[in-house]
Amino acid sequence: MNSDTDKPLHLGDLEGIKRSGVRIVALTAYDACFAALLEEAGVDIVLVGDSLGMTLHGAQGTLGVGMDEMVYHCRSAATGTRRALLLADLPFMSYPDATRALENAARLLAVGARAVKLEGGEECLEIVRHLVLRGIPVCSHLGLQPQSMLQRGGLRMHGARPEEADRIRRAAPLLEEAGAGALVLECVPDALAAELRAVLRIPVIGIGAGPDCDGQVLVLHDMLGLSPNPPSFSRDFLRGTRGGVREAVANYVREVRAGRFPEARPQPTPRG
C-alpha cells in the first residue's frame, strides 16, 4: 500500500489505510527470501506467524513453537523487509503475564519486528495495555485461536454459537480501547466480521472471515498449494500460473485489493 512512498509501514498507519478504503494485504513468511518476495509483490504486512510450527516443522499445531524459534525466524524475515510491516507472533506461553509479555515482545522488536500479535480477548486486556503503554505496537487475534485449541476445541469456526459471538463482540472494542492497532479475526462467520469491521476504528484483518474485512491474511504455504491440508477458505494461487511464486503472490495482492478474494461463502471449514 505504501509502495508509492516507499516509507516503512507501521501498525499505527493501518487505521488511515482502513479509512481510505484500501484493503490491507498480509501473508506469512518466515525467512528473508520469501519476506523480500512478498514485499516486492506489494504485500503490506509480512507476518512471522507461529503457523511455522505446521508449515516448517510439520507439527499438528502451534503449541510447540517457542520464543527462540520466533526470534530466529523474525530476524531472518526482517533482513528481507524494508517497507512492509513485519509483524511477529508471540508464541504459546510467551505472555502468561504482562511482565513476561513485555520481555518477549521486546526480543521480537530487537530483531526487527515492528509489532507483535497475540491471541486472546478480555483475559488479555491488561497485557495489551501494558505492552502498548511501553511502546510495543500490538495486533490482537480473536476467533479461532490456535494456541487455545486444546481448550476451545480448535480447528472449527468460532462465533457461530451465540455465546461465542457475544464474547468476540465484547472483546474486540475493549482490545481497541486497550490500544491494539489491528485485529486478526480467524474463522468467524462473515456477518460477525462485517459487524466488527463497521464498529471498530482499527482494521479487521480476516482469515476465513469472509470478504467484508479491512484486509486479508493467509498462510503462505496454503496459498501456494504446499500444505497437505489447507483450510477450505484458502485458495491455491500458484495453480495455473506461468510466473511461479512471484506471480502467485502478485495475483493474491491484486485479488485482495480488488475485493475479489475471498468470495462470500456459506461457512468455512478450518485448517486440518
Q: Please give the residue ranges that form the binding site for ligand KIV (CB under 6 A).
A: 28, 47, 49-51, 89, 184, 186, 207, 217, 219
If we measure between CA atoms, which residue out of 18, 54, 15 comes closest to residue 234?
A: 54
What are the φ/ψ torsions at residue 186 (nearest 5 degrees)?
A: -110, 130
Residue 51 has φ and ψ, to the nearest 5°, of: -60, -10
Of 186, 195, 255, 263, which is the active-site residue?
186
Q: How far is CA 108 from the centre of its chain?
A: 16
Can you read off the three cell numbers belonging to residue 260?
475479489
Residue 133 or 226: the one with the smaller Cβ distance to ligand KIV is 226
Contact 73, 124 (CB under 8 A): no
Q: Which is nearer to ligand KIV, 140 or 251 (CB)?
A: 140
Clarify whether 164 is annotated catalytic: no
Minimum Å gap between C-beta 49 and ligand KIV is 2
Question: Cβ 178 to ligand KIV, closest distance in Å?
Answer: 19
* Closest residue to ligand KIV, based on beta-carbon distance: 49
CA–CA distance, 117 with 121 (Å, rounded to integer)? 12
According to DSSP, the residues that pair with 138 across neighbouring strands are 116
Report the nearest approach of ligand KIV to the CB of residue 6 (Å).
26
Q: How far is CA 239 from CA 43, 235, 244, 252, 270, in A?
A: 20, 9, 9, 12, 21
- CA-angle at 103, arms to 78 and 100, nearest 5°: 130
CB of 141 to ligand KIV, least distance (A): 6
Query: What are the helix (H) ranges across 29-182?
Result: 32-40, 52-55, 67-80, 98-110, 125-133, 149-152, 162-178
Amino acid occupying residue 37? L
Q: H or E stretch including 15? A: helix 14-20
Residues identified as active-site: 186
